[in-house]
Chain A
């Protein structure tokens, strides 16, 4: 018997050799932690109390009500509490220098972020497994199919992973504790958590009303939500790269992979837009086109991060890349080399691509409207980013400020509209991208004129910036040549 156990032990040990060391560490730590244990128990108790009520009521069809209660508890757990655990775990690792020490081992920062994410997946799985008996119980209370229940669990799981990753990213973005907490509350608690819960509530209501067919139809064919999920995925991909870059030691390549990813994502977005437009034989609706605003903002956030990158972050790479000559390598370098200058070229790239899409598909005037709306956002954010561009502000501060402004610009007008229109229950629509547009009181002509002006301003700013960028690159080249000569 003991030989069998020893064999199993040794097999288990061998398997762990292929897992991320960080995942093993995190799982070991978290399962012993009070936070995990209390969340786990609280989840069970929160489900148990209404269960007693359902059992005592004796009503004939209670499945949907019970299911809605349990699924909200599940969504709160996996989209708010567990992301916070992931956030605080990385936050503490950074405070006590564990991550710095791990950064000089053979693990690279991408493996570190991936390991953290995997461990959150294990924790969420355990939590869901504790709620699972209650969700199964709701099936026995009638009124729901097994597929409905499974559908929502899958959605919850999927969403929780997005939110968990956002939480990890929030903990990695800044060197300052206060900034990290701000990021967490903006990204996770406010945006992702709120959106996930609203989807959870929607899903529960849909499932309650019409079963799995209706729910899945409502959920997956709702292009607003799909678009937002795709946009979140796109931002996350980039932010995953960014988080890994942030956590990497200064001697590591902190920039290039972020830029390769951006390039890939940007190509993906263009393909997505083109496919979407080609497939829309019925004509593109105003609501559908509003997704592009979100996509443009997503790309812009990425570009803002790149523009705000400190020259010091990637000095070594800068030295390597600027040594190459020739037209093609110059173009390549402009896009991929680190340093604050090249982000502006990236932004220009976005604008030209938008123009190309417009030339191909822009026969529809409403598309022009929304295209110009995207340009408006780009221009405004570009302007916001360029204003604090002086030597007194550090790169992290610029990034923090810009992200805060982006969040305010995106959501404050929506909140104002919510109050002005006094719509009861509108909080569920808060994260609906079409809501802001549908409540806009501006005429199309006003929007067009305003956006056209901002587009002109944007191009002028880009032009000025390109001139100064060239000078910066020349200065760095001279500096680099001088230092190389001095050290060799």
Chain B
């Protein structure tokens, strides 16, 4: 059986401007897929096509086997979309807002009532359910919008910059909610600029720039492929418990250490290593055997943020 979401060579042109070109990726239920790229890279355009709000100039995307272009009605009942911008309707309480969308998804009677109650409970909004939407904080509005996307229990969630503008607490809460949803079998496509958040959340990702996918797949796979192509030397970050003025000379004498950069005098260093991965622990052993009190010894370039910076050029369309 194929993946729940398959994006196949999507291209979207606005006149002569190409917003996205031959975008392809896929992922399955129960996984969180990160969609990463700078502003204007084509993330929102791709998400809007997947949400049946826009059409592709060429190519197609399939949600549970249904084409977003030829069978948008079938696709809509399977997706929950959270856009990057939405306003708050006036004179409407949280409960009324969710009730309206439940009705719009043709949920009737008891089923509708239970759905609204479930979402209010899940989003922990029971105490404020009669509050007006316009009076909510940014974090609570985001939460409500996620709740709205969940009201008809969709298989897939498409979230465009859901953590934008949230304080650290609200971000952590959102991240936990998304993890729970993924555990419950939802497929989640999420775009964000906050890459440290995504690196902790995503199983796989796609990096997009200027409308083209630069790399996609499992985060570790991307990293490995990147390192195969990477001709620059690995960098180690080193910190000592106490400053030691002799260590600089010692580091320069260790085999495989090509270059030493002193960050904090006698305490923090960056080492460029000329050799394979197996030789890196040898450096640590050397330092400990020589009596240095090592607090941190870390190979750099391992997180999503580094991957993103390595792959993209920072160009916008």
* Residues on A facing B (Cβ under 8 Å): 13-14, 17, 21-22, 24-25, 28-30, 32-33, 92-93, 95-98, 100-107, 249-252, 315-316, 483, 486-487
Q: Is the CB of A251 within 8 A of B100?
A: no
CB distance from A397 to the nearest CB of B (A): 14
- Complex partner residue of A104 from B81, B92, B108, B112, CB under 8 angstroms: B81
Q: Which residues of A contact B109 (CB under 8 A)?
A: 13-14, 17
A-B contact pairs, 21 of them (CB 8 A): A13-B109, A17-B109, A21-B104, A25-B96, A25-B103, A28-B96, A92-B87, A93-B89, A96-B89, A97-B85, A98-B89, A101-B81, A103-B53, A106-B76, A107-B104, A249-B54, A249-B72, A251-B52, A251-B55, A316-B69, A487-B59
Q: Which residues 234-287 in B have Cβ within 8 Å of A in the complex?
A: none
Considering only CB atoms and an 8 Å cut-off, how many residues of chain B contact the other chain? 41
Residue of A nearest to B112 (CB): A17
Q: Which residues of B contact A252 (CB under 8 A)?
A: 72
Residue in B69, B88, B148 with the greatest tally of chain A CB atoms within 10 Å: B69
- Complex partner residue of B52 from A93, A95, A104, CB under 8 angstroms: A104
Q: Is the CB of B91 within 8 A of A33?
A: yes
> Contacts A97-B87, A251-B69, A316-B69 given: A487-B53 contact, CB under 8 Å?
no
- Complex partner residue of B91 from A32, A100, A316, A483, CB under 8 angstroms: A32
Given A21-B100, A28-B91, 9 new contacts (CB under 8 A): A17-B109, A92-B87, A92-B90, A100-B83, A105-B105, A107-B106, A250-B54, A251-B54, A487-B9
> Contacts A28-B92, A251-B68 given: A315-B87 contact, CB under 8 Å?
no
Q: Is the CB of B108 within 8 A of A17?
A: yes
Q: In this assembly, does B51 line the interface, its C-beta being within 8 Å of a C-beta of chain A?
A: yes
Give the top 9 A-B pairs by smallest Cβ distance, nearest first: A96-B87, A21-B103, A105-B104, A251-B72, A32-B91, A25-B100, A29-B91, A106-B106, A17-B108
**A100→B148 CA distance, assembly (Å):** 13
Q: Which residues of B contact A21 (CB under 8 A)?
A: 100, 103-104
**A97→B53 CA distance, assembly (Å):** 12
Q: Which residues of B contact A22 (CB under 8 A)?
A: 100, 104
Q: Which residues of A contact B68 (CB under 8 A)?
A: 251
Q: In this assembly, does B183 line the interface, its C-beta being within 8 Å of a C-beta of chain A?
A: no
**A106→B104 CA distance, assembly (Å):** 6
> Contacts A24-B103, A100-B53, A315-B55 given: A29-B86 contact, CB under 8 Å?
no
CB distance from B153 to the nearest CB of A (A): 13
Contact with A along B67-107 (1 / 0, CB 8 A): 01110110011010101011111111000100011011110
- Complex partner residue of A25 from B9, B55, B92, CB under 8 angstroms: B92
Q: Is the CB of A483 within 8 A of B86?
A: no
Q: Which residues 33-72 in B have Cβ within 8 Å of A in the complex?
A: 51-55, 57-60, 68-70, 72
CB distance from A110 to the nearest CB of B (A): 14
- Complex partner residue of B83 from A13, A95, A101, A107, CB under 8 angstroms: A101
**A100→B47 CA distance, assembly (Å):** 14
- Complex partner residue of A97 from B72, B83, B152, CB under 8 angstroms: B83
Q: Which residues of B contact A24 (CB under 8 A)?
A: 100, 103
Q: Which residues of B contact A102 (CB under 8 A)?
A: 101, 104
Q: Is the CB of B88 within 8 A of A96?
A: yes
Residue of B nearest to A95 (CB): B87
**A251→B79 CA distance, assembly (Å):** 15
**A25→B8 CA distance, assembly (Å):** 38
**A277→B253 CA distance, assembly (Å):** 108
Residue of B nearest to A92 (CB): B90
Q: Which residues of B contact A17 (CB under 8 A)?
A: 108-109, 112
Q: Which residues of B contact A487 (CB under 8 A)?
A: 8-9, 58-60
Q: Is the CB of B87 within 8 A of A98?
A: yes
Q: Which residues of B contact A100 (CB under 8 A)?
A: 53, 83
Q: Which residues of A contact B112 (CB under 8 A)?
A: 17
Q: Which residues of B contact A316 (CB under 8 A)?
A: 55, 69-70
CB distance from B116 to the nearest CB of A (A): 12
**A315→B54 CA distance, assembly (Å):** 11
CB distance from A310 to the nearest CB of B (A): 11
Q: Which residues of A contact B57 (CB under 8 A)?
A: 315
Residue in B55, B70, B77, B104 with the greatest tally of chain A CB atoms within 10 Å: B104
CB distance from A18 to the nearest CB of B (A): 9
Q: Which residues of A contact B60 (CB under 8 A)?
A: 487
